[in-house]
Amino acid sequence: MTVPSPRFPWWLRALDSAGDGLRRRGALRHLLDPDALLAEAAAAEGHERFGDGTEAMLRAFCASLEADARLAFHGRLHLHGLARTSLQVRLRLEAARARDPAIDRPPSRPPLLVCGLPRSGTTLLHRLLALADDARPLLLWELMEPIAGRGPDRRRQEAERKIRRLQRIVPLSLDAQHFVRADLPDEDGHLLKPSFASSLLYQAPALTWLDRVLRDDLAIAYRNWRALLVLLEAPARRLVLKDPFHARQIPRIVDLIPQAMVVRTHRDPAEVVPSFHKLTMTMHAVTCTSLDVPAIVEANTRWLESITDASVAPLGDAASRVIDVDYRALLRDPVGTTRSIHARFDLPWSDALEARVRDFVGANRQRRHGDNPYDAAEFGQTIPAIHERFAAYRRAFGLDRG
């Protein structure tokens, strides 16, 4: 495995050349201009009630992209669309609040939420828990734009189009790293995008924005996240959610949703860290002409360290709402792990559900979509150094034992 390098098809290089030429002549400079983005979104939605915090986080995001990322022109176009859609969803959320202030409450049924270090089995466990009869997983197409705009609802078709486009230009196999499709359950961290606090915005190395996200308490972002959950819940069904980075915010989540059930996964950081570098840089290579690998490696490692720091910190009253799962145990016995989570939270389990879980496991074996090799050395790190940096976390969750 090598650090992914941008290799764009001819038609994309032609677009970039034309776009860069226009930018040199003073055109198209508005693409990542916060004021222009705010005005575009407000014009599209017919009002400009963006709510608290939005403008400041947008400005931090755009400034970081300009300062930190070596963006290709097509990357600018993509990130412009991502930021504009996020702003429009934010406006739609404020309009929904104006119509019904009662959306600022916990979901009707306590959600089941999977979090933990990325690359630690969160996707597998989420999709297993989403097989329950009363589960309401959120699918990628609805997460990408959780409130439909005016006119025909083409969100699903648009999500499928974006995935196909990404697969044409990504420099390494994305399916082997993280298999996504429009109709599969995915990360509810998408619901933090309208607040510009989501890991899903990290599609280019916006490193100073990331530093701000790690410093921010994210109180506004999580209140907006909860309101969007209420808008997306279904009668008599339990939301089954997943985002690795919720592990940084468990006390806040339990404060906002007191009966939330949290499953937190754990894996040796020596395996997680290089895998995470590979995934993030695979995405960055889609939007950038080149990558500052050492800067991204250090930012990524600090980000993961913020999760492990939160994991070893006392949870207070939230501790009773959390189950910890070792990645190795999940791989050894995914059916038993899923069954035990249901038992611990007193959720229904049946022979039919067990059969569905077994069938899913059989059809989705590890590496089904190809190998995903990674090596810390290729990112300038060593396993002993990673172990030392994450020593307290490894001890706390038995990851220093074979």
pLDDT tens figures, 167-191? 766 655 555 555 678 888 999 999 9
Tokens 């995915």 belong to 186
Give the CATH number of the domain where residue 97 resides.
3.40.50.300
User: In whole numbers, what is the pLDDT of the chain averaged over residues?
Assistant: 92
Cα–Cα distance, 369 to 72 (Å, whole number): 29
Instruction: Tell me: pLDDT of 4 over 90.
Output: no
Residue 401 in any domain: the answer is no
Q: Which domain holds residue 381?
A: 10-396
Assign 48 a pLDDT band (cuts: 50, 70, 90): very high
Residue 313 in any domain: the answer is yes
Q: Which two tokens stand for residue 92?
A: 């739609």
Q: What's the start-to-end Cα distance of the chain, in Å?
A: 26
Residue 331 in any domain: the answer is yes
Residue 2 in any domain: the answer is no
Cα–Cα distance, 308 to 393 (Å, whole number): 6
Residue 135 in any domain: the answer is yes
Cα–Cα distance, 234 to 112 (Å, whole number): 14
The dihedral over CA atoms of 218, 222, 223, 229, expressed in degrees to the nearest 10, equals 170
CA distances 266 to 3, 87, 260, 343, Å, are 25, 34, 19, 20
| Neighbouring residues of 355: CB distance < 8 A, sequence distance ≥ 6 | none
Per-residue pLDDT tens over the stretch 320-370: 999 999 999 999 999 999 999 999 999 999 999 999 999 999 988 765 645
Is residue 173 within 8 A of residue 220, CB to CB? The reply is no
Per-residue pLDDT tens over the stretch 195-237: 999 999 999 999 999 999 999 999 999 999 999 999 999 999 9
Cα–Cα distance, 268 to 381 (Å, whole number): 15
For strands 288-290 and 70-71, give the pairing.
Answer: antiparallel
CA distances 40 to 63, 87, 89, 194, 337, Å, are 18, 9, 13, 15, 48
Instruction: Tell me: pLDDT of 296 over 90.
Output: yes
Residue 3 in any domain: the answer is no
**How many structural domains compose the chain?**
1
Residue 402 in any domain: the answer is no
Confidence at residue 307, expressed as pLDDT on a 0 to 100 scale: 98
